[in-house]
Amino acid sequence: MFKNIITIAVISSLIFNLPVFAAFDDEINQQKSLLQKNFNVQPNNFLIQKSAITNSNPEFINENPEPLKNYKLCIGDSVQIHLLSRDIELEYTLEIGAEGKIFIPKIGEFLAYNLTTDQLNNKIKSKIFKRLKEFELSVLLIKIHQIKVFMTGYALKPGVYQITYDTRLMDFLRQIEGITENGSLRNIEVSSKNSKKTYDLFNFIYKGNIEENPKLKTGDKVYIPYINKRITVIGNALKPGIYEFKDKDNLLDIIKLAGGLGNAAAVDKITLWKNGMNYATQSSNQIDLKNNVNLAENKLNDGDVIYIPTFKQPQEDLQVYIYGQINRAGTFPFKEGTKFSDYIKLAGGANSVADLEKVKVTRIKNINGKPVTETFIVDANDIIYNGNIQKDFFISANDVIFIPERFFNFRNFTDITGVVLSSLGIISLVISFINKK
């Protein structure tokens, strides 16, 4: 008698997170080493790319295949039956019907619901064995059923979705193209008939806590609440912007969210401006991270601004600020005689969604002891790519260059750690810090 061989395989259209992380370049890795060595900070060295968002069926990469050996078959699953003997060879792909059964031509009907593939294999074998004594049989799970999940709140596309069994929360958000700028990723509610839990995806993204990225079940309701606490990071951070935070977050946690420190960040002169997002006039606190400051004494609150200055020589006290859709947003030393196009190149050039024809430059002048702003629109595309050097111009100290996003560009879900500051917000913050000098 042939030895019965049972092959159990899983080939599924489950949408799991494919490798979607890209390492920063060597320059950023140097900053990571600096943080690790001096302050025990692990800066964010991963980016989630929009290319990982897909509505197609990518190859299923199972995180842990062993538990699927005990997977109970459900309505909507598909199995492949392969029977081989000396006189016959049969192969069928069958979907488990509404009654939980499959029908195998020439063999019969079988209840498959709530059985493992092993159990179904044994059930089929016992019936075949009455007619055949020597044969090989394999049962392969080739498609797993879909489940229904409800999305509500501040999602880009609220509604009811059919998703593949075992899809995790973050993968589900990718499929529906993410959440709005005001949607929280740190207080996501997932509720079912018997429970309601809150999840913090930042703890999964930055700390690898898989429990904060649960597998969704049929009937789950996912609610994205409004962000109720924000904090701003400006200056010499790798990703300056506005970030959601929780009460337990400290200064180093927020620096990690902002990608870590930039080149030559003055870690001994970090400024915490209390309620600075509302332009409060109360005095700011200077923090010295070099000397292991007691972070508990600098509790963060909603609306605070963290300013990370750049270490400067005395002659480098003046700055130029570049934000928006640019590859290296932040502050840059002002140098007399440097033109607009030079600073765009210094900041790594515009990214793929930038609207270069509507770059906004705001000049801050001091008139009778008061800051006065002058704003004008620049066609950077004409200057840089069309070679119209006559339109290029010299940048002044404390100029703010803001590169906007094309209006019809869909916001990248992967920019979940922060929204780039608006030009108005940056200008107001710069004016406030100029006044404090």
Task: List phi, psi (to 5°) of 183.
Answer: -85, 140
**Model pLDDT for residues 357-392, shown as the tens digit of each residue:** 989 898 877 777 666 778 889 999 999 989 899 999
Domain endpoint, select from 75, 109, 143: 143
Q: Are residues 159 and 112 in the same domain?
A: no
Q: Are residues 239 and 317 in the same domain?
A: yes
Which region among 219-228, 251-260, 349-358, 360-369 has the lowest average model confidence (pLDDT)?
Answer: 360-369
Cβ density class 299-316: b for 16+ within 10 Å, e for less = ebeebbbbbbbbeeeeee
Q: Give the whole-angstrom CA distance, residue 29 versus residue 24.
A: 7
Three-state SS letters, 106-174: CCEEEECCCCCHHHHHHHHHHHHCCCCCCEEEEEEEEECCEEEEEEEECECCCEEEEEECCCEHHHHHH
Domain endpoint, select from 207, 228, 249: 228
Query: Half-sphere exposure of 287 toward its Cβ, with a 13 Å CA cutoff?
Result: 25
Judged by DSSP in three states, 37 sits in helix
Question: Of 291-305, 370-384, 410-424, which one has max mean pLDDT?
Answer: 370-384
Q: Are residues 362 and 313 in the same domain?
A: yes
Q: Are residues 158 and 235 in the same domain?
A: no
Q: Are residues 205 and 243 in the same domain?
A: no
Q: Are residues 157 and 253 in the same domain?
A: no
- Does residue 72 have a pLDDT over 50? yes
Domain contains 37: no
Q: Give the whole-angstrom CA distance, residue 432 versus residue 280.
A: 9
Task: List phi, psi (to 5°) of 3.
Answer: -75, 125
Q: Please give the tally of structural domains in the chain.
A: 3
Judged by DSSP in three states, 269 sits in coil
Bridge partners of 196, per DSSP, are 191
- Does residue 433 have a pLDDT over 90? no
Domain endpoint, select from 228, 256, 272: 228
In this structure, what CATH number is given to the domain that contains residue 99?
3.30.1950.10
pLDDT at 415: 39
Q: Are residues 301 and 412 in the same domain?
A: yes
Q: Cα 323 vs. chain centroid, distance in angstroms?
A: 20
Domain contains 38: no
Q: Are residues 219 and 238 in the same domain?
A: no
Domain contains 26: no
Domain contains 19: no
pLDDT at 153: 95
Residue type, 192: S
- Does residue 211 have a pLDDT over 90? yes
In this structure, what CATH number is given to the domain that contains residue 177?
3.10.560.10
Domain contains 356: yes
pLDDT confidence tier of residue 260, bands split at 50, 70 and 90: confident
Q: Are residues 86 and 156 in the same domain?
A: no
Q: Give the whole-angstrom CA distance, residue 305 versus residue 23.
A: 28
Q: Are residues 364 and 293 in the same domain?
A: yes
* Residue among 144, 50, 124, 113 nearest 82 (CA): 124
The whole domain housing 198 covers: 145-228
Quote the percentage of the chain above a pLDDT of 70: 72
